[in-house]
C-alpha cells in the first residue's frame, strides 16, 4: 500500500533492455531491486527481468535490466487463465528461493507490522468519509475489528519468510500472450516478507478498481494451508480497510481513483468483515 506513494523512477525502454533511474532512494530502492533481480536470476530465472548492470552509488542510482515481453494486467479484466498464471508466478516466487537465503535478505519496505500501525493510525484520525451511508457503516465495522486482537496476531509470522514484492499493484504483473504466463516487475520495495501479507496485497491493492481480478480464483489456485488462508483473510481485511480510510474527500488517494471508488471500497470492507 505504501502511503504517500508516487512515481519514484524514470525509465528508458529499449528493444532488449530497460534502464531505471531512481528519483528517490531513501528506502534503498536501487539496492533492493538489484538484490531481488540477482536472487531471482539464480533461483527463478525468467520470472523477473534479468539483471544486466547497476550503478548503485551514483546520483541518480541506476539499474539496467532485460526487457520482458507482455502487457501489464492493471486496467484489464483478468481472465481465469491469467489469474491462474499469476498464482503460478507467485507460487514459484515464494518457493524457489531457499528459506536460509531469504532469511538473509533485508525486510521489505512495507510489511505487516507497518500496515497494522498505519491503518490503526488512520482509523484513529476519524477521516472525512463524506455523506455515503455505506462508508460510515464500513468505518464502524472496521474500527471494531481493529480494536480486537486479530490485527496484532498478524505482526508475527509463524511461517517461513518469502521474498516479497511489497507492492500489490496489478501494473507489476505482465501477461505474455505468447508464452501464456505472468512475469513480475518493479522490485524496488522488495525484501523479506510474510507470504500471507504478499497475497493479500495482490488481492486488495486499489489498482483492482481499474479492472477486475477474481481474488478467490487466484487464492484457490494456490496451495494454501488453513493457517495461511486465515492469515490472508485477515490481511485482506486490514489492507482493504487501509485503502478505504484514505479514499474520503480529504484523503491522499481520493483524486486518483474514479468516482464511486469510496462506496465500492466501503462495500468491499463490509464484505470482507462478514
- Confidence band, pLDDT 50/70/90 cuts, at residue 263: very high
Percent of the chain with pLDDT over 90: 90
Please give the CATH architecture assigned to the domain spanning 69-273: Alpha-Beta Complex (3.90)
The span from the first CA to the last CA of the chain, in angstroms, equals: 23
Mean pLDDT in the chain?
Answer: 95
- Average pLDDT on 226-253 reads 94
Q: What is the CA radius of gyration of the chain?
A: 18
- Rounded to whole angstroms, the Cα distance separating 49 from 66 reads 5
**DSSP E strands: which ranges in 83-166?**
162-164
The model's pLDDT over 171-217, given as tens digits with 9 standing for 90+, comes to: 999 999 999 999 999 999 999 999 999 999 999 999 999 999 999 99
- Rounded to whole angstroms, the Cα distance separating 219 from 100 reads 26
Record the pTM: 0.94
- Contacts (Cβ under 8 Å, ≥6 apart) of 255: none
Q: Which three cell numbers stand for residue 15?
A: 528493444
Q: Is residue 2 within 8 Å of residue 189, measured between CB atoms? A: yes
- Rounded to whole angstroms, the Cα distance separating 46 from 148 reads 42
The model's pLDDT over 63-116, given as tens digits with 9 standing for 90+, comes to: 999 999 999 999 999 999 999 999 999 999 999 999 999 999 999 999 999 999
Cis peptide before 83 (omega within 30 of 0): no
- Contacts (Cβ under 8 Å, ≥6 apart) of 87: 218, 219, 221, 222
Could you give the angle at which helices 195-204 and 226-245 cross, rounded to 10 degrees?
50
Q: Is residue 108 within 8 Å of residue 190, measured between CB atoms? A: yes
Amino acid at each position: 500500500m505504501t502511503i504517500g506513494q508516487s512515481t519514484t523512477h524514470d525509465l528508458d525502454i529499449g528493444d532488449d533492455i530497460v534502464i531505471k533511474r531512481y528519483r528517490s532512494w531513501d528506502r534503498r530502492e536501487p539496492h533492493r531491486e538489484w538484490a531481488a533481480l540477482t536472487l531471482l536470476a539464480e533461483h527463478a530465472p525468467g520470472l523477473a527481468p534479468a539483471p544486466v548492470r547497476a550503478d548503485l552509488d551514483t546520483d541518480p542510482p541506476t539499474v539496467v535490466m532485460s526487457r520482458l515481453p507482455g502487457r501489464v494486467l492493471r486496467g484489464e479484466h483478468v481472465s481465469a487463465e491469467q489469474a491462474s498464471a499469476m498464482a503460478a508466478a507467485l507460487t514459484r516466487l515464494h518457493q524457489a528461493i531457499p528459506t536460509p537465503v531469504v532469511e538473509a535478505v533485508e525486510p521489505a519496505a512495507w510489511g505487516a507490522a507497518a500496515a497494522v500501525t498505519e491503518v490503526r493510525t488512520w482509523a484513529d484520525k476519524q477521516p472525512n468519509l463524506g455523506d455515503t451511508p455505506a462508508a460510515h457503516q464500513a468505518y464502524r465495522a472496521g474500527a471494531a475489528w481493529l480494536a480486537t486482537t486479530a490485527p496484532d496476531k498478524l505482526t508475527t509470522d509463524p511461517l517461513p519468510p518469502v521474498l516479497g514484492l511489497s507492492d500489490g499493484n496489478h501494473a507489476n504483473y505482465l501477461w505474455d500472450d505468447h508464452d501464456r504466463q505472468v512475469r513480475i516487475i518493479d522490485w524496488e520495495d522488495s525484501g523479506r516478507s510474510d507470504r500471507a501479507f504478499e497475497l493479500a496485497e495482490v488481492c486488495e491493492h486499489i489498482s483492482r478498481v481499474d479492472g477486475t481480478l477474481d481474488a478467490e480464483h487466484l487464492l484457490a489456485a494456490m496451495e494454501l494451508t488453513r493457517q495461511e488462508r486465515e492469515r490472508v483473510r485477515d490481511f485482506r481485511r486490514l489492507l482493504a480497510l487501509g485503502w478505504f480510510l484514505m479514499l474520503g474527500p480529504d484523503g491522499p488517494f481520493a483524486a486518483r481513483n474514479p468516482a464511486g471508488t469510496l462506496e465500492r471500497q466501503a462495500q468491499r470492507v463490509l464484505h470482507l468483515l462478514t
